[in-house]
Amino acid sequence: MMRTRYTGYTGYTGYTGISDGLRQRELGADKKAAQRVYLSQEVMIAYGNDLTTRELLNQYYLNIRQFGEGRKEEVVALRDNVRNACDGLLKSEKQLFFSKIHENHKEALLGVLEANPCLVLAKNEDQKTGLMVAVEDGNASLVDLLVNQGSYIEEVDKDHNTALGLAVQCKKDDCIEFLLKRGADVNHQNRWGRTVLIMAIMSEDEACVKKILDADADITCKDREGDQADSYAFNKPFSDETKQRLSVPESSVSKCSVS
C-alpha cells in the first residue's frame, strides 16, 4: 500500500512506501524528520481504501506552493474540498488537535498533524482554525509551525476576522509581526467593516498602528458606519505624526468595500 509523505515545514513531497520511513529511522536519520515521513497505519485503517482525502490534501499542498496567488481560485476550491473531507473526522480528533495547541505541546501537535494532515484546516465551534487559536494564545512558535504546515492565513472566523485581526485585537505583537512578514492582508474587513488598522487604533496601540501603516494599509477604508481610520483616531493619545499619517485627504476615494 502506498503512503503519502509530508514534511513538517515544506508540505507535499510526493509518495513513498512505509518501508522508506522505517529505513530512515534505522539509518539514524534525524528523529523529528523521520517522525513526519509517513501517515500512521491507524490513519490508513480509519480511511480504509478511500484515497480521496489524501489525494485532495496532496493537490492542495502542491498547488498552493507551486502556483500561489497565480491560481488563487483553484487553490481556494481545493482548500474547501479538503476542509469538507476533514469535517468527516471524529469530533474527538478535532478536540485533540485544538487541545495540543492550547497546551503549547509542539511535538504532540506535529504527531496529530502527521496522523491527520487536513486538521490544519479544521475549525472549532467559533469557526476558528488552529492558527487563529494559536494567535489568540500568543504562541508565535505554533503560529509559525501551523502556517508552514499549510494553514491559510486569510481564513476567517464567524465574525469574519482573520488571524491578523485576532492578533491585533489580542495585542499579540510577535504574531502580528510574523503575519505581516508573511504578507497577511492589512485591508481585510471584518463583520463590522473594520480593518486591522482601525482595530489597532481602537486599542490605542500606536506602535501597532505604525507597523500596519508601514505595511501599506489603506487609510481610506470605511467601516459599515462609513467611518475611516482618522475618525477613530481623532480623540486617541497618538503623536501628531501618527495622526497626520492617518489623515484622509478630502479628495480621496475609498478603494475598500464591505462584503
Two domains, one topology: 2-185 and 186-259: yes
* 152/82 Cα distance (integer angstroms): 12
Residues whose CB falls within 8 Å of the CB of residue 12, separated by 6 or more in sequence, listed in order: 6, 58, 61, 62, 65
Q: Does the global pTM surpass 0.95? A: no
88 vs 84: CA distance, rounded Å:
7
- Model pLDDT for residues 220-242, shown as the tens digit of each residue: 999 999 999 999 999 999 999 99
**163 neighbors 179 (Cβ within 8 angstroms):** yes
C-alpha 205/C-alpha 199 separation (Å) is 9
The strand ranges marked E within the chain are 2-7, 11-17
CATH topology of domain 2-185: 1.25.40
Q: Is 24 helix (H, G, I), strand (E, B) or coil?
A: helix
- 186-259: CATH topology: 1.25.40
**Chain position carrying cell 476542509:** 83
Give per-residue pLDDT as tens, 44-91: 334 444 545 556 665 665 665 565 555 667 666 767 766 776 666 667
Going from N- to C-terminal start, the domains of the chain cover 2-185, 186-259
